[in-house]
Amino acid sequence: MSQEKMFALARAAMARSYSPYSGFPVGAAILTPTGSTFSGCNVENASYPEGTCAEAGAISAMVMAGESVIQDIYVIGNGDALVSPCGGCRQRIREFSTPETRVHICGPEGVRKTLTLNELLPWSFGPDHFSGGQSND
């Protein structure tokens, strides 16, 4: 799937965000090696720690559909600064990534920066630290 289509999926997910407390909508879209796509938006709650990040929603949809590998993930938010995945979401992405997984950080105009997960989260802890887990070297 093209980068433009994946960006459009992330932007559409951001438009569905439920963010009445922060006023900061975020969207995410995942492409798997099979060509399947999944998206998610942040969902806030009056009890702030109970909210859910966009990346977590997209990953949950992916797992629910029986997929387990992220090839590309697009994350979009508003503002001038890069809206990169939070620490918790970096770890969530890591769980389902390969060394080639690309994280595309987007703004309203499109992709601003693309990194591999290893560039975004160097020296990470993941499934390969346990016997039989996948590797993220």
Give all strands (DSSP E) within 24-126, no chain letters: 26-31, 37-41, 72-77, 102-107, 110-116
- Neighbouring residues of 95: CB distance < 8 A, sequence distance ≥ 6: 59, 126, 127
**Nearest alpha-carbon partner for 68 in 40, 31, 96, 28:** 96
9: tokens are: 């999926």
4, 44, 50, 55: which is the annotated catalytic residue? 55
Residue with tokens 């938010």: 77
55 among known catalytic residues? yes
**Nearest alpha-carbon partner for 40 in 4, 81, 78, 89:** 89
89: tokens are: 């979401």
Residues with catalytic function: 55
